[in-house]
Amino acid sequence: MAAYLVVDTDLTNPEMYESYKLKAKPLVEKYGGEYLARGGQLSVKESKLWAPTRMVLIRFPSAADAETFYHSDEYQEVLQIGLQSANRTLFILEGV
C-alpha cells in the first residue's frame, strides 16, 4: 500500500531552505519517493483544525519506505538544514 509523506512548511530562511530542497530531492527519489506537490498554490476550504501554509506531498511505495527514508542517516543530515530554515509539521499517511 502506498504511503504519503505530507509536510506543511513555514519558511523562516528561504535562502537556506533552497539548499535543503536541492539535497533532499535526490534522497527522496533514492528511497522510492515521488513528489506529487511541492509548494503549489493552495485553495483552503476548511481550516478549523489546521491552516496549511506551504504543502509538500510525496508518494512512497509503502509506509516502510517512507519511514526508511525519513530515518536514514543521509536524510537526517539534510533534515538539519530544513529544521534550521523552516517550521514544519510532517506526517506519513497510508493510502492507495
**For 12-46, what is each residue's pLDDT tens digit?**
999 999 999 999 999 999 999 999 999 999 999 99
Report the share of the chain in percent with pLDDT over 90.
98
Read off the pLDDT of residues 60-96 as tens digits, 9 standing for 90 and up: 999 999 999 999 999 999 999 999 999 999 999 999 8
pLDDT for residue 96:
87
Spell out the residues 6+ positions from residue 93 whose beta carbon is closer than 8 angstroms to its own. 3, 4, 6
Is 90 exceeded by the pLDDT of residue 1?
A: yes
pLDDT for residue 67:
98
Burial class (CB in 10 A: 0-12, 13-18, 19+), 5: buried
Domains in the chain with CATH codes: 3-40+53-94 (3.30.70.100)
| Nearest C-alpha neighbor of 9 from the set 95, 81, 85 | 85
